[in-house]
Amino acid sequence: MSPFHGVDERPAEAANQTAGTPSLAEIFEQHTPFLWRALINLGVPAAEAPDQCQEIMITVHRRLGSFDGASLRGWLYGICVRVASDYRRSARVRREILTDTLPEATDSADLAESLDRERSARRLMVALSALDEAKRDAFVLFEIEELTLAEVSEAVGAPLQTVYSRIKAAREQIRRGFAGAAVSRSKGGLSEAG
């Protein structure tokens, strides 16, 4: 059963929809996992991702009739970038992470591997949060979500050369952040830089 069973689309939107454009239910089914991941990589906490993903789908529902049929993925990620940006700017953003579950017990080999992955992911999130919004959006969409430069350009509403420059600058800043974290660890410090 469709997740939108019983949801009526406005007739004007249905009439204006370009032939070959997928329905809202198809978009939801095919693109939600990517949008969800993009939201998290764009700085939306995992606990808030369901609500923000719903905001994306509401916007898609409202604007689907005006979609020009060019790049659906780029159009969706453009909406995702704006929703994530609005979320980060909102006054209700909290820094705390609430959880009801306790960590599971693991053996030491699994624990060491898990800690390494967790540290790397944490360093990446710190490096991403240090980027300005324009660089972060371009980097996440290109490097993590694997959109083409043209799709990123459309999603963020910037010229292709600007997007390329942002990605290049973001790569260098992240590279420096990771190199700084490695130097800090090699000096035997107890605290990890990033």
- Whether residues 120 and 78 fall in one domain: no
User: Does residue 165 belong to any structural domain of this protein?
Assistant: yes
Separation of alpha carbons 70 and 91, rounded Å: 35
Separation of alpha carbons 122 and 127, rounded Å: 8
DSSP 65: G
Helices 24-41 and 72-89, axial angle in degrees (round to 10): 50
Show the domain range for 170: 108-186
Domain count of the chain? 2
Torsion of CA 170, 125, 36, 49, to 10 degrees: -130
Chain segment 63-109, per-residue pLDDT in tens: 988 888 778 888 898 899 999 988 888 755 555 555 666 656 556 66
For residue 140, give the CATH number of its domain: 1.10.10.10
Return the structure tokens found at 162: 């600007």
Given a contact cutoff of 8 angstroms between Cβ atoms, the answer to whether 56 and 134 are in contact is: no
- CA-CA distances (angstroms) from residue 194 to 14, 104, 115, 127, 170? 49, 25, 14, 7, 16
User: Does residue 94 belong to any structural domain of this protein?
Assistant: no
For residue 22, give the CATH number of its domain: 1.10.1740.10
Above 90 in pLDDT, residue 191? no
Separation of alpha carbons 94 and 74, rounded Å: 29
- Whether residues 27 and 62 fall in one domain: yes
* pLDDT at residue 173, rounded to an integer: 92
**Residue bearing the bigger pLDDT, 159 or 145:** 159
Q: pTM for the whole thing?
A: 0.58
* pLDDT at residue 192, rounded to an integer: 45
User: Does residue 4 belong to any structural domain of this protein?
Assistant: no
Q: Within a 10 A sphere around the Cβ of 165, how many other Cβ atoms?
A: 15
- Whether residues 37 and 75 fall in one domain: yes
Return the structure tokens found at 23: 């329905």
Of 89, 120, 142, which marks where a domain is finished?
Answer: 89
User: Does residue 97 belong to any structural domain of this protein?
Assistant: no
* pLDDT at residue 114, rounded to an integer: 80
DSSP 7: P
Chain segment 7-61, per-residue pLDDT in tens: 444 443 444 455 577 888 999 999 999 899 889 888 888 888 999 999 999 999 9
Confidence of residue 138 (pLDDT cuts 50, 70, 90): very high
- Whether residues 182 and 122 fall in one domain: yes
**Residue bearing the bigger pLDDT, 61 or 119:** 61
Confidence of residue 158 (pLDDT cuts 50, 70, 90): very high
18-40 core/surface letters (b: 16 or more CB in 10 A; e: else): eeebeebeebbeebbebbbebbb
Return the structure tokens found at 86: 């609005």
User: Does residue 102 belong to any structural domain of this protein?
Assistant: no
User: Does residue 5 belong to any structural domain of this protein?
Assistant: no
- Whether residues 82 and 114 fall in one domain: no
- Whether residues 125 and 57 fall in one domain: no
- Whether residues 25 and 84 fall in one domain: yes
Question: From the DSSP assignment, how many helices (H) and strands (E) are in the chain?
Answer: 8, 0
Separation of alpha carbons 41 and 131, rounded Å: 12
Confidence of residue 142 (pLDDT cuts 50, 70, 90): very high
User: Does residue 153 belong to any structural domain of this protein?
Assistant: yes
- Whether residues 85 and 113 fall in one domain: no
**Residue bearing the bigger pLDDT, 133 or 184:** 133
User: Does residue 193 belong to any structural domain of this protein?
Assistant: no
